[in-house]
Amino acid sequence: MIAVMPSGRGDGLLGRSLYVNSHDGRVRMEDFLAREVVAWVDSSFRTLADARDRGIIGLSDGGEAAMNLALKHPDVFGACASHSGGFRLRRGIGEGRILGQDPGAERILEENSPLRLRRPGGAATR
């Protein structure tokens, strides 16, 4: 097993990123985790470079992110686990730099909430 623990630091209060791409495109945390980190690990270590052999896990915000990323990128992550993660993103104090101030912020929250990414019957939405 190879464990990789990248920083999820973003522009939000106390460095929160919500592990999403920011509204203005300045911070691309989802892309970084799902694409760049995975590509770097696969090129740097002897891995089985397939989603069925790759998982993601997180704690608290990271647990929410693990579920979100696995549901949004089943081609990258074949397994996920969350410890103490919330499954519906909500606006909090100091997240304006991530979400923006316009109505588009609610769209970002909904598009990155694991509960919204599941359909009845268990199939993930895209």
Q: What is the 3-state secondary structure (H, E, C) of 68-91?
A: HHHHHCCCCCCEEEEECCCCCCCC
48 versus 17: which is more confidently predicted? 48
Fold of 13-117: Rossmann fold (3.40.50)
Per-residue tokens: 108: 């970002």
d(CA 51, CA 76): 5
- pLDDT per position as a tens digit, 60-90: 888 989 999 999 999 999 999 999 888 888 7
Burial readout 105-123 (b: 16 or more C-beta within 10 A, e: otherwise): beebbeebbbebbeeeeee
> pTM of the full predicted structure?
0.82
